[in-house]
Amino acid sequence: MNSKGFWDDQFCIVTGAASGIGLATSKLLSSNGATVLGLDISENAGSNGKVFAENNNLYRKCDLSVPEEIEKVFAEFKNSKLAALFNVAGLPTNGLGIEETSVSDWDRIINVNLRAVFLTSKYSLPLFKNNGGGAIVNVSSVHAYSTMKNHAAYAASKGGMNSLTTELAIELNPQSIRVVGVAPGAIRTPMTTTDLERDAQLLNSLGFPTDGKSIGHVGEPEEIARILTWCASPEASFITGTTIQADGGLLSRLGYEKGN
């Protein structure tokens, strides 16, 4: 089955939609004819709000660390036919080591990055049933495979997401719902660059070249958005229960350097 024209009039939900990969995914889906419900903790989509003012798109403020807010949003759209759920939202560890990480810090990262994926998947099921099936695409991270110090909560949340993706694929297969993960490498988003204003110099010193050519270079949100939408389309109909690494070769380079 070809995905040409597939997104026309399809209803999709994207978390973390106000910026970065979530915004890029929302834009791409909308440009291909889908109606997008964007969820984010921001009061509105800010300067990017025009994306959610076009093509019948919608936007709701939703704190993904609060289960009741997630349940309320999905209940509002319980009669909709959901084609795809994109779990993009995530919180970083902000460089805190275990000794500096409080219980509240740990819980908030785990709750947004992992528990929220469980809840959005759970509450989306009636909407998928209305559609006769669909796809859930979870944005993981290379940190689930090879991480660095001071990223304990983030790495744990993404490792858990990979396992949850596999389990959900098995559990939801009878309902014709595919579940796929995508693990990006370093992507130029607000989450990764807020504390990296010296951008090129600092990123290169950390081992993430910004030249757009080197193995493991910093990618753009639009590159990941194209992969996410493909994973949810009929062209990826034989893919479920796995997490695809979309890292510009970062993990392969790390593996090579560790071995040398």
Q: Is 154 a catalytic residue?
A: yes
158: Cβ–Cβ under 8 A, 6 or more apart, which residues?
A: 113, 140, 141, 143, 144, 183
Distances (CA, A) of 123 to 38, 73, 133, 240: 16, 9, 14, 20
Identify the bridge partners of residue 137 per DSSP, sorted by sequence position.
86, 180
Decide: 39 and 73 in contact? Cβ < 8 Å: yes
- Of 56, 17, 63, 42, which is closest to residue 221 (Cα–Cα)? 17
User: For residue 85, which phi and psi values (nearest 5 degrees)?
Assistant: -115, 125
Decide: 38 and 60 in contact? Cβ < 8 Å: yes
Given 59, 123, 145, 154, the catalytic residue: 154
**Catalytic sites, residue numbers:** 154
